[in-house]
Amino acid sequence: MDILIETDRLVMRAFTEGDAHGIFELDSDPEVHKYLGNKPIKTIEEAQSIIRYILDQYEKYSLGRLAIIDKNTNEFVGWSGLKYETEVRKEMPYYDIGYRLKRKFWGCGIATETAMASMKYGFNTLKLNDIYGGADIDNIASNKILKKIGLQWIETFEYDNSPHHWSQT
């Protein structure tokens, strides 16, 4: 396993094609997609397409979201990390921090833990100057995490027909 980031409880590694079932379990849950446009996936082929997209980001930008694996159980928890974003704010490409967990892991501090580790990796290893994050204004948990990891609110913007908070380091 090619571990890029490690915390006390978790490893964060590059995605592989073998993660399709974990992605399917994550992204087929309507609750997970509540603040993501309410478009949960319905097939394993869609999960495979998500992984191909992430692998393509690794090729293009040498960076992308990382699979989160529980050290004790080896279970796929979700994903976290940085990506070079060019679509959400078309007026400016930027390095984006993000996280998405299977519902059973919500409220355990994993999103904060992995996001903080990703921020450290971004600044210390990748030598990034700024990292940004966006979250639907109604997604209280995600907005709390962005604040907790050191991002400061800048403005509100419209994305996917929904207002989002825009924050940066």
pLDDT digits (tens, 9 = 90+) for 128-145: 999 999 999 999 999 999
CATH code (residue 55): 3.40.630.30
Whole-number percent of the chain with pLDDT over 90: 91
Q: What residues make up the domain containing 74?
A: 3-168
Question: What is the per-residue pLDDT for 161?
Answer: 87
pTM greater than 0.75? yes
In the Cβ-directed half-sphere of 108, how many Cα atoms lie within 13 Å? 14
The CA-based dihedral angle spanning residues 103, 46, 131, 74, taken in that order and rounded to the nearest 10 degrees? 50
pLDDT at 153 over 90: yes
Single out the residue of 117, 104, 111 nearest to residue 7, CA to CA. 117
Band of the pLDDT at 52, cuts 50, 70, 90?
A: very high
Single out the residue of 150, 53, 142, 139 nearest to residue 98, CA to CA. 142
- Domain count of the chain? 1
Q: Backbone phi, then psi, for 134, in 5-degree steps?
A: -130, 150
Tell me how far apart the alpha carbons of residues 111 and 122 are, in angstroms, rounded to a whole number.
16
